[in-house]
Structure 1
Amino acid sequence: MHPFRKAVEARDTAAVEALLAENVVFTSPVAFKPYPGKELTAAILRGVLRVFEDFRYVREIADPGGRDHALIFEATVAGKAITGCDFLHFDDAGKIDDFMVMVRPLSAATALAEAMGAQFERIQAEATAALVAKSEGA
């Protein structure tokens, strides 16, 4: 089992964040523009864990070199069954530098967009607080 999968399934947000590269780019299934940066990506992933119910990975696919992984998941969002895939690319240090999510069906993607939209103020506040803490610690 991949360490990212293990961390998500354990709902260990610190372990998830530790696997993200500083320059990670998160591509959402419901937003046009990708989101750059570790702090924002970590905050988005915490938001996702808050809105997904009964989340579980059902399949893991990896390239032979270990740099690309696809983790297929199932969950429920606002009563809608959702199936999706986390596409992960790992940099030379073994950190996730590209994270793209795709989901289906459209009705569940719409429910996810609404649920995450309701989380976005909190997500932005968490990311900003993490950036401030990071700059004060530097």
Structure 2
Amino acid sequence: MPDTSDSAATVARWRAAAESGDVGAAVACLSPDVVLSSPLTDQFRLEGSDQLRDFLGSAFVAIEDIRFHTQTGQGDTYALVYRARVAGQPFEEAQLLRFDDEARIAEITLFGRPMPALTALMTTLGPALARGQGRRGLATLLRASAAPIHAMVTFGDRSVVPRTKPGARRT
């Protein structure tokens, strides 16, 4: 288990890197064999700091104005929560971080909300990653397949969900 003060220092550097969009500083916090689990699907898992470098580069473009508001943890496990914007929509993400024996981030599990921001992220982040790999056709396919989901979720969130609140008028 890493020293608590070493992990806390890594968390502080990680937060600062995310808030400033500094990919290099964020990658410096990672174990070489870090694993990231997506909040969107079990089919998307990144392994290794090289894969995370590409991911973070795209994520820091898609997710704007990251501001952490909650942090808890000690030793080899921390949880962080921030607010940001994705495609102009409010976004909140929780990050569960686990550390290796050298106080580097070895595991990142992400949890995000609300759904319209998550689907907006799907329409931007996946295609950006594919384009970065030189896979323009896949980028187009990812965007085309995510766009209807985003449209349905956004419509439902704005037009249908408000009608389900207790005390909402029946129409």
Q: Same fold (TM over 0.5)?
A: yes
Post-superposition CA distance 1:82-128 (Å, at most 9, x none): 11111111100111110111101111111111111221124446xxx
Q: Are residues 1:4 and 2:14 paired?
A: yes
Q: Does residue 92 of structure 2 align to residue 92 of structure 1?
A: no
Determine helix, strand or coil for the equivalent of 1:29. Answer: coil
Do the aligned partners of 1:60 and 1:71 also contact (CA within 8 Å) in 2?
Answer: yes
Aligned-pair identity in percent equals: 30
2:25 is aligned with 1:15? yes
**Superposition RMSD on alpha carbons, in Å?**
1.6
Q: Distance in 2 between matches of 1:28 and 1:62?
A: 21
Q: How many residues align?
A: 123
Ranges of 4+ aligned residues in structure 1 off by more than 6 Å: none
Amino acid at match of 1:121: A
Superposition TM-score, scaled by structure 1 size: 0.81
Q: Determine the C-alpha separation between the residues in 2 that align with 1:46 and 1:69.
A: 23
* Higher RCO (CA 8 Å, separation ≥ 6 residues): 1
SS of residue paired to 1:72: strand
Which of 122, 130, 137 is the matching residue for 1:113?
A: 122
For 1:16 and 1:108, the matched residues in 2 are separated by: 23
1: CA distance, partners of 2:77 / 2:61: 26
Unaligned runs of 5+ in 1: 126-138
Shift of residue 50, structure 1, vs aligned partner: 0.5
Check conservation: 1:40, 1:123, Cα contact below 8 A.
no
Counterpart secondary structure, 1:31: coil
Describe the SS at the equivalent of 1:2: helix
**Paired position in structure 2 for 1:54:** 65
Which of these two proteins has the greater Rg computed from alpha carbons?
A: 2
Task: Give the strand-richer structure, 1 or 2.
Answer: 1
TM-score, normalised via structure 2 length: 0.66
What's the CA shift string for 1:40-95, capped at 9, x where partnerless?
112111111001122211111123x2x11111011111122111111111100111
Equivalent residue in structure 1 for 2:42, among 32, 39, 44? 32
> Which residue does the alignment assign to 1:133?
none
